[in-house]
Amino acid sequence: MPFGNTHNNFKLNFKVEEEYPDLTKHNNHMAKVLTKEMYAKLRDKQTPTGFTVDDVIQTGVDNPGHPFIMTVGCVAGDEESYEVFKDLFDPIISDRHGGYKPTDKHKTDLNFENLKGGDDLDPNYVLSSRVRTGRSIKGYALPPHNSRGERRAVEKLSVEALNSLDGEFKGKYYPLKAMTDAEQEQLIADHFLFDKPVSPLLLAAGMARDWPDARGIWHNENKTFLVWVNEEDHLRVISMQKGGNMKEVFKRFCVGLNKIEEVFKKHNHGFMWNEHLGYVLTCPSNLGTGLRGGVHVKLPKLSTHAKFEEILTRLRLQKRGTGGGRSVRGGHSLPQLPTMEGAADGRAAGQPAPLA
Amino acid sequence: MNTRLDATMPFGNTHNKLKMNYTAEQEYPDLSQHNNHMAKVLTPEMYANLRDKETPSGFTVDDVIQTGVDNPGHPFIMTVGCVAGDEETYEVFKELLDPVIEDRHGGYKPSDKHKTDLNAENLQGGDDLDPNYVLSSRVRTGRSIRGFCLPPHCSRGERRAIENLSIEGLSSLDGDLKGKYYALKNMTEEEQQQLIDDHFLFDKPVSPLLLASGMARDWPDGRGIWHNDNKTFLVWVNEEDHLRVISMQKGGNMREVFNRFCTGLTKIEGLFKEKGHEFMWNEHLGYVLTCPSNLGTGLRAGVHVKLPNVSKNEKFGEILKKLRLQKRGTGGVDTAAVGGVFDISNADRLGFSEVELVQMVVDGVNLLIEMEKRLEGGQSIDDLMPEQK
């Protein structure tokens, strides 16, 4: 897990050619886009918190490629990264998000009433429904770059916000570092527990520093609303339940998210959002909605059909194995398993997200 | 919003500028589960004193300690839990590193002076460790090139410059030391297989102790292996240190191994000096390396030796301690012994000269073999018990 020790004052004593990374074996979005000229232009810049282009790209330099997926190869260290390093991020965002232009505007709609139907996906086929997203808290650096003090502050605010929830949202926070064995076993059995990342994609970005300090899991008593604190993003918010009532899952998702946001706003720390990029998250692949809405669904016949991939592409869906995500014993989200997971999140189908 | 990098800013960069908005308590790491040298030493007060400092190259105390925060402990060994990012780290963060050094290096004080002795003639004996027991002999050390940041912190440009200097220097070695450089990133399949077969190839580290310090960034850029045609002298470039220099051969002629080691090192140092680059060295810390545990000589001289009987003796640990030796598995630092074959080497690095350390290994291994032979014959080893060296 090498991480950004790229704040080296001597590097500007070396020429661009000497510092420019060797990307000849690389196949990720960053490597496709970062020319020597671009690197020359960006290498002496930093965001207000001190994030540099070398920090942005370190994970992409250290991880040339992935056998199944086109990885992004760069991360943001704070909200301003996307502005200071526009030259690099804009083409990556365009390439990754189907031609999204620097002038485009992103629409946020968390009004669940606007969803039509969705309450009766056939439970003979749909085993479970889930919606997840991420949120970043304004005013703090992001997981690749935040200090311990910042991470703890995010945890503290998050716990306060979550503890104020009631009704179906009433729940409890389990900090990773103070979990009992019994709690840990239960969280594993529920498939809620996340562990220190092992993926070199994540580790190289520096987001596992100081593990497990200020990391934790919050979930409601019903186990249908779950929040990860300080994993790859400040918050990952997940609504889920067995069966095919996606409408109910999405309603809980929207209501819960809005309630949490209110509490953060009261503390003058709303979510990072702007009208171009929508919700700002650590990985450029999660910008906009950061939303992955999906089901575990039985499609043994359709999936063997010659046109399955084409159908998914046309529907703007992607498939993954059901061992996806980063819950403990859940394995990495690679499309290895025969059961299919359809997901709609605005990305071109057949391109599963590298960082789940 | 865009600001140019400025050498006078309080933090170089990564360990962000917002952290000074938080109190020392809020930023102080949670070391309650930790058992490493750094955790034993770093109090909240010390952290408060050091947290706004940086070396000229921009290394901060958070950089120094990150590996120790991320790795609470190790099942077999008391880890150091901190690294240097440049030569000045040991000065700027003296308050932390001096007690770590003292604890790690047997009470070595901030006022102590370290003696360097690379004159192989000063070694007594060592050319005839019993080859029925000693399978191989090896001496290694590290060297840092003054003026460049160390592996946890160096930029790609710096790392490549070190590689270029090393290639230039090594390519001018001749005679027994004539050899070739194999850059990790453009090795052929055949070369790679051969280096694996020779047990020369080093790979991207997997140890979280090393990875957390940032030394594997940009792998394999700027990394490589040089060895002589005889395969008895090997240099690793840009792994955990700028250079790791290894002399080795089968059998028990440690004297020859050490001779080649000293000759080779001295030649390499001369070649670097010709190009205007010295090794990092000072009279207090000796050779300056990335890990505080390798300061002084940076030297580990060891043998792979068959000690199936002695190693089972209840006093084995005590004997090693008295001889100032340590045991490892033959797979290296993180491994266990297999088939009664141990890696026995000097435990010290600092406060003793190279000759003194190799002498301890030679004398100690000779004694252990004698004990092994006694135990083979069912005899006692009580009268052979050594005094504390």
Give the side-chain half-sphere CA count within 13 A for A341.
Answer: 26
Residues B89 and B157 in one domain: no
> What's the gap in Å between the CA of A85 and the closest CA on chain B?
9
Residues B162 and B89 in one domain: no
Grade residue A297 by pLDDT with cuts at 50, 70 and 90.
very high
* Residues spanned by the domain of B355: 120-377
A285-289, A317-321, B169-173, B337-341 — which is least confidently predicted? B337-341
Pick from A8, A80, A213: which is nearest to B58 by CB? A8
Domain-located, residue B25: yes
> What's the gap in Å between the CA of B376 and the closest CA on chain A?
47
Residues ≥6 apart with Cβ < 8 Å to B285:
B90, B101, B114, B295, B296, B350
Residues B313 and B171 in one domain: yes
**Is the pLDDT assigned to residue A64 strictly greater than 80?**
yes
Pick from B13, B30, B57: which is nearest to A50 by CB? B13
Mean pLDDT, residues A193-197 taken together: 85
Residues B124 and B100 in one domain: no
| Distance separating alpha carbons of residues B50 and B48, to the nearest angstrom | 6
Residues B332 and B198 in one domain: yes
CATH number at residue B352: 3.30.590.10
Model pTM score: 0.88
CATH number at residue B61: 1.10.135.10
Residues B100 and B159 in one domain: no
Residues B250 and B151 in one domain: yes
State the pLDDT at residue B206. Answer: 84
| Distance separating alpha carbons of residues A341 and A126, to the nearest angstrom | 10
Class level of CATH domain A112-121+130-287: alpha beta
Residues B40 and B87 in one domain: yes
**Is the pLDDT assigned to residue A343 strictly greater than 50?**
no
pLDDT: which is higher, A230 or A191: A230
Pick from A18, A149, A203: which is nearest to B160 by CB? A18
DSSP code at position A112: G
Q: Report the mean per-residue pLDDT for chain A.
A: 87
* Contact at CB, A18 and B156, closer than 8 angstroms: yes
Q: Is the Cβ–Cβ distance between B47 and B24 less than 8 Å?
A: yes
List the single best residue of A1, A6, A9, A49 to mutate versus B (max B Cβ within 10 A): A9
Residues B201 and B305 in one domain: yes
Domain ranges within chain A, ordered by starting residue = 9-97, 112-121+130-287
A294-308, A331-345, B360-374 — which is least confidently predicted? A331-345
Domain-located, residue B15: no
Residues B236 and B193 in one domain: yes
List the single best residue of A18, A55, A81, A147 to mutate versus B (max B Cβ within 10 A): A147
Calculate Rg over the CA atoms of chain B.
22
Grade residue A207 by pLDDT with cuts at 50, 70 and 90.
very high
ipTM rounded to 2 decimals: 0.86
A184-198, A307-321, B107-121, B324-338 — which is least confidently predicted? B324-338
Domain-located, residue B385: no
Domain-located, residue B13: no
Residues B342 and B199 in one domain: yes
State the pLDDT at residue A323. Answer: 65
Residues B192 and B64 in one domain: no
> What's the gap in Å between the CA of A55 and the closest CA on chain B?
7
> Strands, DSSP E only, in B61-214?
134-143, 179-183
Q: Is the Cβ–Cβ distance between A61 and A23 less than 8 Å?
A: yes
CA distances from B316 to B105, B306, B313, B371 (A): 22, 14, 5, 10
Structural domains counted in chain B: 2
pLDDT, tens digit only, all 389 positions of chain B: 333 333 332 232 345 678 889 999 999 999 999 999 999 999 999 999 999 999 999 999 999 999 999 999 876 679 999 999 999 999 999 999 999 999 999 999 999 999 999 999 999 999 999 999 999 999 999 999 999 999 999 999 999 999 999 999 999 999 999 999 999 999 999 999 899 888 888 888 888 888 999 999 999 999 999 999 999 999 999 999 999 999 999 999 999 999 999 999 999 999 999 999 999 999 999 999 999 999 999 999 999 999 999 999 999 999 999 999 999 987 666 667 778 999 999 999 999 999 999 999 999 999 999 999 999 999 999 999 999 99
Q: In this structure, which CATH number among 1.10.3210.10, 1.10.135.10, 3.40.50.1370, 1.10.10.10 belongs to the domain A9-97?
A: 1.10.135.10
